[in-house]
Amino acid sequence: MVFNSVVFALFLAVILVVYWRTPARRRNIILLAGSYVFYGWWDYRFLSLLAISTVVDFYVGKRIYGTVEESRRKRWLLLSVAVNLGILAIFKYSGFFVDSLSALTSSIGFGELSPALRVVLPVGISFYTFQTMSYSFDIFRHRIDPTRSLIDFGTYVAYFPQLVAGPIERASRLLPQIETYERPKPRGDRLVAGIGLIAVGFFKKVVLADGVAGVANAVFAEPAGFSGISTLVGVLAFAIQIYGDFAGYTDIARGVSKLLGIDLVLNFSEPYLARNITEFWRRWHISLSDWLRDYLYIPLGGNRGSTLATYRNLMVTMLLGGLWHGASWNFVLWGGLHGAYLVVHKLTRRGAVDSGPLRWTHAPSIIVTFLFVNVAWVFFRADTFSGAWQVLRNIFTMADGATSLSDLVLVAVLGVATLVVDLGNRVGADAVSLMRRSPALAGAAAAIVIAAVIVFSGGTPEPFIYFQF
Model confidence pLDDT, tens digit, residues 372-417: 999 999 999 999 999 999 999 999 888 787 677 777 888 888 888 8
Of 446, 449, 451, 422, nearest in space to 435 by CA: 446
pLDDT band of 106, cuts 50, 70, 90: low
Model confidence pLDDT, tens digit, residues 138-176: 999 999 999 999 999 999 999 999 998 889 999 999 999
Indicate if 142 belongs to the active site: no
CA distance 353 to 336: 21
CA distance 93 to 320: 13
One-letter identity of residue 173? R
Measured distance between the N- and C-terminal CA atoms of the chain, rounded to whole angstroms: 16
Q: Which segments of 184-297 does DSSP mark as H helices, in order?
A: 188-202, 210-221, 228-259, 277-280, 286-292
Q: What is the pLDDT of residue 429?
A: 47
CA distance 48 to 40: 10
Q: Which of 325, 338, 345, 362 is catalytic?
A: 325
pLDDT band of 37, cuts 50, 70, 90: very high
Q: How many CB atoms lie within 10 A of CB 1?
A: 16
CA distance 222 to 144: 51
User: Helix 47-66 to helix 70-88 angle, to the nearest 10 degrees?
Assistant: 170
* R_g of the chain computed on alpha carbons: 23
**DSSP state, 120?**
P
The residue extents of the domains of the chain are 6-179, 188-275+354-468
